[in-house]
């Protein structure tokens, strides 16, 4: 008998509370597919970074935001997409892989700028599109 395809879709308000609730639902959905803790941790880390960036930057607490996160188990891992109605990414592009410079005096160390580098390290096949006032970011969290 063919195995049931595992997928989910969660819609939630673009707020910190909405993200927390969505991450709990998403974790349960992925975990129910009996994936290993490594994949689960990588998926949670990337999704938390992406979803919090949507709320903090794209929606910026000023926009009546709605976010949708979708996930599907595929042959090579878990494929995700995050769709929102916020502002587009700067220059219409996914931020780069570069880490902030840390070879500076302690008082000059950056507080942020590590998130997108981390996303690039843990995810594959990142794509971004802006269509009809909506952002769509897709990525794969590979099994290995």
pLDDT in tens, the chain (144 residues): 345 679 999 999 999 999 999 999 999 999 999 999 999 999 999 999 999 999 999 997 666 799 999 999 999 999 999 999 999 999 999 988 776 676 777 676 556 667 899 999 999 999 999 999 999 999 999 998
**1 domain residue, yes or no:** no
CATH number at residue 94: 3.30.565.10
- Overall domain count for the chain: 1
**136 domain residue, yes or no:** yes
Note down the domain range covering 67: 7-142
**80 domain residue, yes or no:** yes
**2 domain residue, yes or no:** no
Q: 25, 26, 16: which is closest to 80 by C-alpha?
A: 26
């Amino acid at each position: 008998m063919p195995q049931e395809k595992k997928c989910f879709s969660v819609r939630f308000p673009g707020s910190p509370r909405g993200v927390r609730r969505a991450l709990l639902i998403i974790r349960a959905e992925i975990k129910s597919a009996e994936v290993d803790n490594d994949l689960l941790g990588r998926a949670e880390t990337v999704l938390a970074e992406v979803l919090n960036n949507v709320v903090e930057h794209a929606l910026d607490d000023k926009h009546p935001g709605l976010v949708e996160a979708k996930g599907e188990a595929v042959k090579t891992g878990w494929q995700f997409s995050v769709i929102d109605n916020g502002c587009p990414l700067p220059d219409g592009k996914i931020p780069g892989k570069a880490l902030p410079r840390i070879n500076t005096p302690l008082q000059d160390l950056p507080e942020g700028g590590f998130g997108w580098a981390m996303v690039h390290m843990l995810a594959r096949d990142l794509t971004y599109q802006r269509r009809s006032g909506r952002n769509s970011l897709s990525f794969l969290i590979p099994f290995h």
